[in-house]
Structure 1
Amino acid sequence: MNPRPITASNLIATLDLEPHVEGGFFRRTYQADHRDMLETTDGPRYLMTSIYYLLTEESPVGQFHFNHSDILHYFHLGDAIEYSLIHADGSLQTLIMGSDVLAGQQLQLHVPGGFWKASRLLSGEHGFGLISEAVSPGFDFADMEMGNRRKLTARYPQYRALIEKLTRDED
């Protein structure tokens, strides 16, 4: 008996994922609500939260966005995902999360708070890439800023082509 093939649509259904504002699909799987809230300059936050995050051929890009919290990403399955990080000093770093660790792909990725981050699904045999993220202090939409194409290209003109590819045109 052959196992049921894993597809983007059956992952979305099985994991009960919903569309994410930055692109892809997600579901919060954990929040440290058994502990006292952490007081931050922006208000109380959970000590940690965690989500599933899925990119698909139909929604292959996680748009540039900025988070205040540190995020640990964990690759689970599917095709590799490329991450573009703009550091606080303006330098660009590109990393690939995936299962081919012998080729330099990463199973875990730490993105400190204060970085601009975008992700995109790389072509492969599955049509999806599934990761988890653990966020500390816990994720709150008030701590996230979506990348504005015009503002980002004005600030980082050297990355114009990348920013245009990994943001929505909302002008």
Structure 2
Amino acid sequence: MHSNAIFILCAENEIDLDLPYFSPSSLQSDGFIHACCAEQVKAVYQQFFSLQSQVFVAVIDTRLVSAEIKYESPSEPIGNDKPFPHIFGKLNTNAIVDILEYQHFSHQDISDRLLDVLAHYRFSRLPVEGTLYKSTWRATTELANEKPVGTAMIGMYCHTLKSVSCFHRLSHDEIWHFYAGDAFNLYLLFPDGEVESIVMGTDFAKGQHLQYRIPAGVWQAGEVLKNSEYAIFGCTMAPGFTGDCFEAADHDLLKEQFSGMSDVIERLAVNDGDTAMPEGFAS
């Protein structure tokens, strides 16, 4: 029995989720759209995409695909020669539940439960960090500097489709909320050198928090607990979040200052040296 998750490797911005369908040139030339299973992604990347600088993986829920999908042997040897999923028709983009950078793909299968969550919330990927997120409220009332009085978002951490927060700090306090799924860690590095790890979740007997305030100027990062599937959380800010209130860390410098957290800092350094949000983001 085949998994309900299949994948398409693509260049940056090749797939436009604002359009109703994705119709690459292979649909005309070969009669179908090439896709692959989780265990085949690496072989496809190595054979066809390894020389490209930016490669992305589109995650497709086959239960949502309107065109016919057939599993067929490739025309030339690729990987273990198992049949590949071929999509015989234009791909309705509402069947694409995530697009992430290739280097953050775990090459593991995706559970139906995780596909359900992705299809329901329709997350985007946050610039710089790549975190799965969705803006849910942005106040129309503005402060004197024309910035919103408050904002709210929903986010999701998971390992299979790597979604974490790299170390960053904000110019305003931020309130974190646990909503659903598995517990997750928040790592806090304070200006005075203090380090704190907070577990967000529902088990108060174990000291887990449903809500937690992170003060302005504190380096913060987060990830779902090891061997967990996903965690859904929320963040609210007042004044609201704008791109210029965000600063991602230089992780090499941060490891010098907090050497005891080097492993965590390195593991969550997903920002590739970028420290600022794109100009105009969340402005």
Give the one of 243, 247, 251 matched to 1:149: 251
* Whole-angstrom CA distance in 1 between matches of 2:148 and 2:267: 33
Cα RMSD after superposing both structures? 2.0
CA distance in 2, matches of 1:90, 1:6: 42
1:53 aligned onto 2:53: no
SS in 2 for 1:152: helix
Q: Tell me how far 1:19 sits from its aligned partner.
A: 1.2
The aligned residue for residue 131 of structure 2 is: 24
Q: Would you say the 8 A contact 1:149–1:169 is kept in 2?
A: no
Conserved? CA contact 1:24–1:54, under 8 Å: yes
TM-score between both structures, scaled by the size of structure 2 = 0.53
Instruction: State the match for 1:162 in structure 2.
Output: 264
For each residue in 1:116-135, what CA deviation from the matched residue of structure 2 results, as whole angstroms up to 9, or x when unmatched?
0000111356x110011111
Where 1:11 maps in the other structure, the secondary structure is helix
Alignment partners' CA distance in 1, 2:131 and 2:113: 14
Q: Distance in 1 between matches of 2:146 and 2:217?
A: 19
Check conservation: 1:86, 1:117, Cα contact below 8 A: yes
Letter in 1 for 2:252: R
Higher relative contact order (CA 8 A, sep 6+): 1
CA 1:26–1:105: 2 relative to 1, 3 Å: same
Pick one of 2, 7, 15 that aligns with 2:121.
15
CA distance in 2, matches of 1:162, 1:155: 13
Give the match for residue 38 of structure 1. 143
Q: TM-score w.r.t. structure 1 length? A: 0.84
Offset of 1:26 from its aligned partner?
Answer: 0.4
- Report the Cα offset of residue 60 of structure 1: 4.2
Which whole-Å CA distance do the structure 1 matches of 2:126 and 2:212 have between them?
20
String of CA shifts for 1:92-130, please: whole Å, max 9, x gaps: 1101001111211100011111110000111356x1100
Aligned length: 161
Instruction: Provide closer, same or farther for how the CA distance between residues 19 and 169 of structure 1 changes in structure 2, counting only shifts above 3 A.
Output: closer
Query: Does the 8 Å contact 1:19/1:26 carry over to 2?
Result: yes
Q: Which has the larger radius of gyration?
A: 2
Give the whole-Å Cα distance in 2 for the aligned partners of 1:20 and 1:68. Answer: 18
Q: Cα offset for 1:148?
A: 1.8
Runs of 4+ with deviation above 6 angstroms: none
Q: 1:148 to 1:9 in 2, by over 3 A?
A: farther
Q: Tell me if 1:84 matches 2:190.
A: no
CA gap 1:6/1:136 in 2 versus in 1, 3 angstroms: farther
Q: Matched residue of 1:162: which SS?
A: helix
Q: Which residue of 1 aligns with 2:239?
A: 137
Identity %: 24
Which residue number in structure 2 is paired with residue 123 of structure 1? Answer: 226
Cα distance, 1:18 vs. partner?
0.8
Paired residue type of 2:185: E
The question of whether the paired residues in 1 share the 8 Å contact of 2:158 and 2:223 is answered with: no
Distance 2:248 2:124 in 1: 18
Query: Any conservation in 2 of the 1:8–1:56 contact (CA below 8 Å)?
Result: no
- Whole-Å Cα distance in 2 between the matches of residues 169 and 26 of structure 1? 16
Alignment of 1:105-120 (within 5 A): 105-120=208-223
- Answer 1 or 2: which has greater strand percent: 1
For the residue of structure 2 that corresponds to 1:7, the secondary structure is helix
Specify the code of the residue in structure 2 equivalent to 1:100: D
Shift of residue 13, structure 1, vs aligned partner: 2.1
